[in-house]
Structure 1
Amino acid sequence: MAGTAPSPSGAAAAAESVSDLNYLLRPLHWTAVLRHPSGAGRSPLCFRLYTFAMASFTLSFFCSEVIVLYREGTADLDVFTLTLSVADTDIIWLFRMAHAIVCERAFHKLALQVGRDFAEFVTWDDIPVLRVQCRKVRRFTLTYISFGIGACSCYLVSPVSAEGLPFILALPFDATQPLGFGVTWVYCMITTLHVVVMTMILDSFNVSLIAQLRMQITLLSSKIVSLAKEVSERPENYSETYAQYELRYRLLKCIRHHQTIIKNADLLERSLGAMLLAQSLSIGASACFQMFQIATSENLALAAYDAVTSLQECPLSLKRSLLLLMHRAQRPLRVTAGGFFPLSRESFVSVVNVSYSFFAILRNFKNEEE
């Protein structure tokens, strides 16, 4: 029987080793976001206290931003937009931490799915494929996380507030003094790294779980193709009874493999559904805040026009300057994606349409090859 392993348990252990997610599970455990599966059997009291402490940091940061919003209002649109975006990020992270606690068992099960749920379907022929695919996923996620750490480092040394801090906060003490500034900066650093970097690590963990299921689909597809090919190429003196038995056995195994994939995909959907909805709403809200701030520049042309008509007695040079300002203001300020296209509703729809078109072309191309 092609593709079988002399030691199924050895193949399963090898598959579990190459698909290990400890490089993501450990930082999630160290930062009180998600317990490590190896410690799930122990009392979670200490871990929950640690989680409560880290959540309190984020909650206090969120409350400080809300106080700033209440005090400052919309008088300074830059401050309002920045503070609102930070508060939005904080509250969504608190929701994700609570969601991770609720769905902890499901995440533990999915983190170990390759070595447990798919162990009986793994052969030694699958190990090289899993190794290559898992290495790609790991490189992608580590690059993504490294980018987040670098972005946080740059942001933390970029002063925004009058005190020279990276955030505008409502504090119960004077942050202009050396001690107060140092304590507040450390507070900002801990909260920022915990919220931003752990968000990216949790996202990477979710992406890795999805990638594992995709790999299982790839392996199952290759086994079905291989099964059909072997049946068509079997020799004439091959025992018909044994061939039917072997075909039935391998086909039933493929069916069980497929059912396990479906079961784990359903569990993943139940675990990530609410989290992805909240995250999508958060990203949409942040984009809305930014685009609203950009859209206010469109009122500049009208303001310049009103000034020109009411300054009839002013020197010609002043009127000419206002006219030039009005002319330039007719071109709205835009945020572009690397200079290729502006970020707007029309460009977003275009990107989605192009993405689906490429997907359809690649799918048709693959179907023609098969």
Structure 2
Amino acid sequence: MANSRPRQYFRYHYRILRFLGLGWWHQPEEGKTSNFPGWYLYYSIFTQVVIVAGFVTMETIDPFVGEIDKDQFMFCLAFIITDNFTLLKMSIFIFKNVDIQYIVHTIEIELYDYYQNIPKIRETIKKTKIITGAFLFFGWLTIGNGHVYGTIQDIKWKSLVATINDTSLHPVRALPQSIYIPWDYQKDSRYIPIFVFETIGLLWTGHVVMIIDTFIASVTLHMSSQFEILNEAIRTAYDRTMSSLCESVRPEAIQERESLLLSAEETNEKIVQCFVPKEEMEAALATTFRNCFRQHQLLIDCAEKFSRTYSYGFMTQLLASSAAICVVLVQVAQDASSFKSIQLITSAAFLVAMIIQLGIQCFTGNELTLQAGRISEAVMECKWECIPTSQRRPLLMMIMRAQRPLKLTAAGFKDIDNVCFLSIMKAAYSYYAVLTQKQEK
């Protein structure tokens, strides 16, 4: 079982994407791409329009027409920025469903026609689960703490109202997450349904954010892992061919090597040279290196298609992260200075979630570029001098292609890599410093 082929790399992502109404994602081996079959279309319309878009719209309107808590203004603003940009990423997933499924099909199915490293793939799957789990943990911590704080505040409101006369002016009853409600909701008969709707909307939208971002990061990580496997395939191509040819040599010929005074330490290459015809050896080498070349082309096509498909999603991510990290930094500073422990935990967890959200995109994109660029090094280490001159052209083409960096870009404006991550963090801190100075004045 340890060496068996892993399947359904994104099983959990697919199931949650289906549940969230972002399309009926089929596993690659199913051979289907029907996005919204039958009744599922109406379910998707309801979840995306009523729950997600409805909640985000009410959340966005509130700062302009509602009475928002000043202490939590920055925290709410960070949520608004993140959720509104999520609508754009969500639309990419809905309308580019087939393209994304094709990319996953290439990673999970087509690449198995070539050299694969099963333990490496399993290790990559484990990494994607860790990334997903870490992001979900801080996302749940943010949402959970926010609602715990809101519930505590509502209990305090009830106890305060119980101590004052009916004729007195009651304080306003607030929701855990500030959203615009065009009617009075102070009584339990109206407050509870709105509270439930807000909880569902916040959880639904939050999971859309987390699943889309971790899925994209997981796909990128698998592509970078495939480039790393290709590097290994190129480096070992000559030795693997010699080993395979050696295994096909007749036992009588292996025994005959003793008469030729070949020691046990002699390499497979010498055995093949002694007992395998030159034409057969050259044909086997040509097949091995041709497969490496085709695997390289398939990976490049897959990565470039992925970059084109989700380029505006990356742009959305960078804009959202720059703004959200900046404003939530202000909120963390406010909560820390006022010693509001529950609010501080909530805002700090949200800050960590935002940094992870940006980091997983940039770090995996950087790894993809790094592993793709190492192809030229692998070619130089593949014992190319031992293969016929006529078979070296594909190797030269792989070196030339590797000299042109393979990068994921934010609509062509910015490369998704470690430099991008650092520049956004610096910019967010600069904006934070400006905002805090203005607040002090």
Say whether the fold is shared (TM-score over 0.5): yes
Shift of 1:45: 5.1
Structure 1 range deviating more: 185-194 or 84-93: 84-93
Written as runs of structure 1 = structure 2, the 5 A alignment for 1:227-306 is 227-229=237-239, 234-235=269-270, 236-237=273-274, 238-290=276-328
Shift of 1:72: 5.2
Q: CA–CA distance in 2 between the matches of 1:289 and 1:42?
A: 37
Shift of 1:227: 1.8
Structure 1 range deviating more: 48-57 or 272-281: 48-57
Aligned amino acid, residue 234 of structure 1: E
Structure 1 range deviating more: 237-246 or 172-181: 172-181
SS in 2 for 1:114: helix
Tell me the residue number matched to 1:307.
none
* Equivalent residues of 2:25, 2:35 under 8 A apart: no
Tell me the residue number matched to 1:135.
126
- 1:188-207 CA deviation, whole Å, 9 max, x = no partner? 11111111122111111111
Aligned amino acid, residue 101 of structure 2: H
Written as runs of structure 1 = structure 2, the 5 A alignment for 1:1-370 is 14-17=4-7, 20-37=9-26, 40-41=33-34, 44=37, 46-56=39-49, 57-71=51-65, 78=71, 80-122=73-115, 126-159=117-150, 162-229=172-239, 234-235=269-270, 236-237=273-274, 238-290=276-328
Q: CA–CA distance in 1 between the matches of 2:186 and 2:112?
A: 59
Q: CA–CA distance in 2 between the matches of 1:136 and 1:80?
A: 36
SS in 2 for 1:157: helix
* Equivalent residues of 1:158, 1:165 under 8 A apart: no
Q: CA–CA distance in 1 between the matches of 2:35 and 2:348?
A: 48
Q: Which runs of 5+ in 2 are unaligned?
A: 155-171, 243-266, 335-346, 350-361, 382-441
Aligned amino acid, residue 14 of structure 2: L
The 1:82/1:219 distance shift into structure 2, 3 A limit, reads closer
Shift of 1:105: 0.5
- 1:254-308 CA deviation, whole Å, 9 max, x = no partner? 0000001001101111122101101210111223434677999xxxxxxxxxxxx
Aligned amino acid, residue 179 of structure 2: L
- 1:170-221 CA deviation, whole Å, 9 max, x = no partner? 2133332222221112111111111112211111111111122122112211
* Equivalent residues of 1:149, 1:197 under 8 A apart: no
Q: CA–CA distance in 1 between the matches of 2:277 and 2:101?
A: 45
The 1:203/1:43 distance shift into structure 2, 3 A limit, reads closer
The 1:106/1:95 distance shift into structure 2, 3 A limit, reads same
The 1:98/1:337 distance shift into structure 2, 3 A limit, reads closer
- 1:304-335 CA deviation, whole Å, 9 max, x = no partner? xxxxxxxxxxxxxxxxxxxxxxxxxxxxxxxx
Q: Which runs of 5+ in 1 are unaligned?
A: 1-9, 297-335, 339-351
SS in 2 for 1:135: helix
Q: CA–CA distance in 2 between the matches of 1:217 and 1:223?
A: 10
Q: CA–CA distance in 2 between the matches of 1:92 and 1:164?
A: 26
Q: CA–CA distance in 1 between the matches of 2:192 and 2:289?
A: 65
- Percent identity over the alignment is 19
SS in 2 for 1:20: coil
Q: CA–CA distance in 1 between the matches of 2:81 and 2:180?
A: 16
Q: CA–CA distance in 2 between the matches of 1:82 and 1:337?
A: 10
The 1:67/1:132 distance shift into structure 2, 3 A limit, reads closer
Q: CA–CA distance in 1 between the matches of 2:111 and 2:192?
A: 51
Structure 1 range deviating more: 287-296 or 112-121: 287-296
Q: CA–CA distance in 1 between the matches of 2:194 and 2:321?
A: 27
Q: CA–CA distance in 2 between the matches of 1:139 and 1:286?
A: 24
* Equivalent residues of 1:152, 1:192 under 8 A apart: yes
Aligned amino acid, residue 220 of structure 1: L
The 1:277/1:35 distance shift into structure 2, 3 A limit, reads same
RMSD between superposed Cα atoms in Å = 3.6
Shift of 1:107: 1.4
* Equivalent residues of 1:114, 1:212 under 8 A apart: yes
Aligned amino acid, residue 130 of structure 2: R
Aligned amino acid, residue 29 of structure 1: R
Aligned amino acid, residue 32 of structure 1: G
- Structure number with greater CO (CA < 8 Å, separation at least 6) is 2
TM-score (norm 1): 0.68
Q: CA–CA distance in 1 between the matches of 2:14 and 2:36?
A: 18
The 1:212/1:63 distance shift into structure 2, 3 A limit, reads closer
Size of the aligned set, in residue pairs, is 293
